[in-house]
Amino acid sequence: MGWCRPMGSVHCRLGDLLAERGMTLARLSELVDVSVVNLSILKNDRAKAIRYSTLVAICQALDCEIGELLVLA
């Protein structure tokens, strides 16, 4: 199938990025206006989907690119 490969999983590096920046989940929640519960679901790789607006807000707050936050596992 050429460039296609079997579907893998996506890993969210939110915990790593928060630690690198010395930021708490609670502070990120305040900055992006997303509940701590929902950010925790994302951080623990239990999210099934994420809105683009949420993704952009998280990346802006953490000063990172989408590819730094979400990686193929």
Q: What's the number of domains the chain is made of? A: 1
- Evaluate whether residue 3 is within a structural domain: no
CA dist., res. 72 & res. 60, Å (int): 21
| Residue 1, pLDDT score | 46
Give 45: exposed, middle or buried? Use CB within 10 Å, 0-12, 13-18, 19+. middle
- Evaluate whether residue 2 is within a structural domain: no
Q: Which residues pair with 11 in a beta bridge?
A: 71
62: amino acid identity, one letter: L
Range of the domain at 37: 10-72
- Evaluate whether residue 42 is within a structural domain: yes
Angle between helices 14-21 and 36-43 (to 10 degrees): 110
Q: Where are the beta strands (DSSP E) in 3-50?
A: 10-12
Per-residue pLDDT of the chain (73 residues; tens, 9 = 90+): 455 556 689 999 999 999 999 999 999 999 999 999 999 999 999 999 999 999 999 999 999 999 999 999 9
- Residue 54's domain is classified under what CATH number? 1.10.260.40
